[in-house]
Amino acid sequence: MPVVQARLDGHLCPPPPTPTGTRSPYYSPVPTTRSRRPLLRETSDIDSVHTVDDGIHRIGSDPNRPPVDDMDPVRRLRGQLNAPVTVWTTYADDRSQIGITVSSLLIAEGDTPSIMGLISPLSDFWDAVQVTKRFIVHVLSADQVDIAERFALRYPGDLFEGLSTTRSDHGPLLEDVPTRAKCSVTAQLEAGWSTLLKGALEEATATEDPPLPLVHYRGHYLTLGARDRPSK
C-alpha cells in the first residue's frame, strides 16, 4: 500500500501532488480465523455503516451493566458520539513497550499542529509518557479490532505479543498500522476523571489509499463507507 509521509517540523506541509488487564467474566474467546467481513446496516442515501466482528463471543448480558434508566446521562451522551479508534504507544523507564487504546481525541491544524486525547491518569501509559514526553498515535482500520481490544486491556498478558514493531525515538511503531503520528508532549489538563494530553504533531504518515476506518459507537465497533451508487 503506498504511503505518503510528511515532516511537519512546526509547519504544515502542503498536500502531496497526488492523492494489562483481565477479561470480564461474560467474555469468552472464540477462534478468529473465520471471515471478518462486516455486516451492512443502511443508514442514509449517502453513507452505509458496517458492524465489525470484534472476535469476542459474549455469553449473555454484561452483569455489571446497569439498567438504562440508571445510567449516567453524560456517559450515555458520550456513547452516542461516534469516535475514531487509535492506539497510543510509548516506552516505560526500562524501555519496555507501553500502549493504550484512545477514542477521545482531536487534531488541530496550525503553524504547530497539535493532537489531544483523553488519557486515564491511572494507566501505565500515563505514567510512562510523563517521563518520555513522547508518544506515537496509530489510527486503526476496520480489520484491526483485535489490536483495539488488546490495548483496551481486553486480553491478559503482553499487549505487544505477536505484533510486528519497530523502535523509534517517540515509541514503538506498529508496523501493521501505517497511518500514524509522532508527537511530543506540550501540555496536560485535568478533565473530569481523565487528563487531556496535548502533543505537538511532529511527523505524520498516512496511506494514499486509506482503508475503511474503525469507529466506536455505543459500545460497538463500526466502519463507515460510501454506498455504491448505481451506474446511470
Mean pLDDT of successive 10-residue stretches along the chain, which has 232 residues: 40 36 34 34 41 53 59 70 90 94 93 94 94 96 92 84 95 96 95 92 89 83 67 56
Three-class DSSP category at 65: coil
- The whole-model pTM stands at 0.69
Q: What's the rounded Cα separation, in Å, for the pair 212 and 225?
A: 7
Instruction: List residues bridging with 16 in a β-sheet.
Output: none
Q: What's the rounded Cα separation, in Å, for the pair 66 and 193?
A: 20
Write down the CATH superfamily of domain 3-13+39-54+83-217.
Electron Transport, Fmn-binding Protein; Chain A (2.30.110.10)
Do 91 and 98 form a contact (C-beta atoms < 8 A)?
yes
The amino acid present at 57, given as its one-letter code, is: H
Q: For 87-107, what is each residue's pLDDT tens digit? A: 999 999 999 999 999 999 999
Domain ranges of the chain: 3-13+39-54+83-217
Question: What average pLDDT is seen over the chain?
Answer: 75
Per the document, the length of the chain is 232
CA of 184: how far to CAs of 2, 22, 114, 158, in Å? 26, 30, 9, 25
pLDDT > 90: what percent of the chain? Answer: 46
Three-class DSSP category at 76: helix
Q: What's the rounded Cα separation, in Å, for the pair 137 and 23?
A: 25
Written as one string, the DSSP assignment of 97-113 is EEEEEE-SEEEE-SSS-
